[in-house]
Amino acid sequence: MKNEESIMKNEELKIVELYHSWAGIEPESITFLPGSGSYRKYYRLEGKRNSVIGVFNEDQKENDAFISFSQKFHKHKLPVPLVYSTDSSGQFYLLSDLGDLTLFSYLSGNRSGAEDFPEEMIGIYRKVIGFLPLFQVVAGKEIDYSRCYPRQKFDIQSMMWDLNYFKYYFLKLAKVPFDEQKLEDDFQTLVQFLLGAGADHFMYRDFQSRNIMLVKGEPWFIDYQGGRKGPLQYDIASLLYDAKASIPEPVRELLLDYYLDVLENYFPVDRKSFRKYYSGFVLIRILQALGAYGFRGFYENKPHFLKSIPFAIANLQNLLDTKSLPVPLPMLREVLEKLIVNPSFRSYNETSNQLTVKVSSFSYKTGIPADDSGNGGGFVFDCRALPNPGRFEEYRSFTGNDQVVIAFLEKEPEVGEFLNHACSLVDQSIRRYIERGFTGLTVSFGCTGGQHRSVYCACELAKHIRSKFGVTIDLHHTELNK
């Protein structure tokens, strides 16, 4: 443990040195940002005038691909982070800070169920899709594909890597029986079919909701370092069959048609041919995702990746129900049907294992609310140092839920500063709790009567968390609910 801490400290020091050489001053703070499915490490460095993201990645070739692609994308004014500075080792670099709101967290916080997909979300997806041909076709013409890593092209070897990833890290680790030779034959058949789609454009490779940031409602794009020359169908399949995004099938069809409409602005599209190959790329993308969930979940023992399995299985079922497999794949179909009917792959219950943040307001006269999760810990914030609307007669009958009290507190700068600090601390814990698969976090705000300041702060934090993270929020006002 001490060795890991010393390694991280050394990384932080080098990132601070890089920041200093770029900005000319020391950062005021550096915060480690928990990652997800990669081995890259991210830090947020904040200074007086700016906030940047520091990245450490030992894989220099992957870094080189990312930086090279970024330069081309900027040339075409695509919304991707700026690379401000790199160090001489090629392992550290600084990026513009795009915030914390991913398209995935926005979806998670603004849907009431799997079939709920409001028009506003469709509008955001249209914006996202509007940029995709610019990456694939326009900027793609100028990409230096010799910088791609680990492959220059989504070719036979790339496809077989993905299919074997699924076989070895999902099927075998989950102990799903199959005839290996027959499955290998089906893999070869599928790959030979998919090669017919061509591989003439830039393929983003991981074009999905966690790699799309929302900044003031507009999409920005990250994590394209695995890009290579490939078919057009793969990226739109990745986006529309993004497992936990759970896009309803009618919306998928609507957005696929929109993508083809946009694509036709750049060259003629044979829609029948495009769709013929599209279902095959949907299939290989789902299988690749299952391989990733198996590797991270079964092999690396990171249980939160297993929570995505039921969503990927649901996508498989939808694919088999609504689209025919593009070529005969008897053993693969048999395996897929085993996955679909196996109840164990539906048992990684998202709601029971998902992080729940309990946010409470309370009065210090009656005491801090008990932690009924049994975890202990969490945060208690004392709001009694903030301006108190309860001292004024005109506010005494109101609560922190009422607009007159909200207006009173919003005009006080120290209230905003207090909330910014509280949100920053809670954000850091939520990120780490999600990464580690924790299920409960308690945050309480107290004031004298538990009516004005604590209620307002609890509501503001709940609103903040809802806008940034796909977690469950339990908001409770102890005094108001008596």
The single residue listed with the structure tokens 């979940």 is 297
Q: What is the mean pLDDT of residues 185-190?
A: 98
Q: What is the mean pLDDT of residues 169-174?
A: 95
d(CA 208, CA 236): 9
d(CA 110, CA 120): 10
Alpha helices per DSSP H over 247-364: 249-263, 271-294, 303-306, 309-322, 330-341, 350-353
Residues 6+ apart with CB under 8 A from 438: 355, 375
User: Please, what is the Cα angle at 28 between 24 and 32, to 5 degrees?
Assistant: 110
Residues 6+ apart with CB under 8 A from 96: 52, 53, 81, 82, 84
Report residue 65 as tokens.
């691909």
Q: Which residue has the higher pLDDT, 38 or 149?
A: 149
Determine the residue type at 53.
I
Which residues are registered as beta bridge partners of 443? 359, 379
Query: Residue 48 has what pLDDT?
Result: 85
Query: Residue 220 has what pLDDT?
Result: 98
Query: Residue 352 has what pLDDT?
Result: 42
**Mean pLDDT for all residues in the chain:** 91
State which fold the 103-350 domain adopts: Aminoglycoside 3'-phosphotransferase; Chain: A, domain 2 (3.90.1200)
Question: 2-96 and 103-350: same fold?
Answer: no
- Per-residue confidence at 59, pLDDT binned at 50, 70, 90? very high
Query: Residue 169 has what pLDDT?
Result: 96
pLDDT digits 0-9 by tens, 134-160: 999 999 999 999 999 999 999 999 999
pLDDT digits 0-9 by tens, 359-416: 999 999 999 988 766 666 789 999 999 999 999 999 999 999 999 999 999 999 999 9
Angle of helix 271-294 relative to helix 156-166, nearest 10 degrees, comes to 50
In this structure, what DSSP letter does residue 425 have?
A: H
Range of lowest pLDDT (81-90, 110-119, 211-220, 436-445): 110-119
Question: Taking Cα atoms as reference points, which of 447, 432, 457 lies closest to residue 479?
Answer: 447
> Could you write out the DSSP letters of every residue in 127-194?
HHHHHHHIIIIIGGGG--GGG-SS-SB--HHHHHHHHHHHIIIIITTTT----HHHHHHHHHHHHHHH
Residues 6+ apart with CB under 8 A from 74: 80, 82
What percentage of the chain carries pLDDT values higher than 90? Answer: 76
Please check whether the domain covering 2-96 is classified as CATH 3.30.200.20: yes
Query: Residue 351 has what pLDDT?
Result: 42
Asked whether the predicted pLDDT for residue 30 surpasses 60, the reply is yes
> Could you write out the DSSP letters of every residue in 81-142?
--EEEE-TTSSEEEEE---S-BHHHHHHHS-SSTT---HHHHHHHHHHHHHHHIIIIIGGGG
Q: What is the mean pLDDT of residues 116-141?
A: 96
d(CA 438, CA 3): 25
d(CA 305, CA 293): 5
Query: Residue 433 has what pLDDT?
Result: 82
Burial per residue of 198-222, b for 16 or more beta-carbon CB atoms within 10 angstroms, e otherwise? ebebbbbbbbbbbbbbbeeeebbbb
Q: What is the mean pLDDT of residues 306-311?
A: 89
Q: What is the mean pLDDT of residues 31-37?
A: 74
Asked whether the predicted pLDDT for residue 19 surpasses 90, the reply is yes
- Are the CB atoms for 355 and 471 separated by under 8 Å? yes
Query: Residue 5 has what pLDDT?
Result: 47
pLDDT digits 0-9 by tens, 349-361: 444 446 889 999 9
pLDDT digits 0-9 by tens, 414-454: 999 999 999 999 988 888 787 676 888 999 999 999 999 99
Domain segments of the chain: what residues? Answer: 2-96, 103-350, 354-477
Query: Residue 470 has what pLDDT?
Result: 65
d(CA 447, CA 384): 5
Q: What is the mean pLDDT of residues 223-251?
A: 96
Asked whether the predicted pLDDT for residue 226 surpasses 70, the reply is yes
3-state SS assignment for residue 3: helix
Q: Which pTM value belongs to this model? A: 0.74
d(CA 315, CA 318): 5
